[in-house]
Amino acid sequence: MSAKNRDRHGRWRSKTIAFRVSDEEYRAIDEAVSLAGMTKQDYIIRKLMNKDVVVVGNPRVHKALKSEMKKLCEALLRLTLFGALPSNFVSHPQMKTSTPPF
């Protein structure tokens, strides 16, 4: 039998909760967790308990934010190139190039 352990806050965590989600729900949860820089367990518990999710900067959060910003820049660039947005909508010089600034 394994030894009983407490978490870093001295709580017993002996109960398991599991649920199923769709692929798109999974991606949305995974994205939110990576942007928060928390473990999935801590993120879900905080959200379910109606507590604030405080993002603490670290290399993992920086990488996730950079990735999301790159996707956003590429989407805006595509919309601008195909005429879906006015050309003056994107005013940053690096955004007017054919490749994102990342």
Whole-prediction pTM value?
A: 0.57
pLDDT of 24: 97
pLDDT at 30: 92
Q: Which residue has the tokens 């993992």?
A: 60
pLDDT in tens, 9-18: 788 888 889 9
Asked if the model's pLDDT at residue 86 lies above 80, the reply is no
Element (H, E) at 76: helix 59-81
pLDDT at res. 82: 78
pLDDT of residue 90: 57
Note the pLDDT of residue 21: 96
Number of Cβ within a 10 Å radius of residue 83? 8
pLDDT band per the 50, 70, 90 thresholds, residue 2: low
Which of 60, 68, 66, 8 lies closest to 37 in space, CA to CA?
A: 60
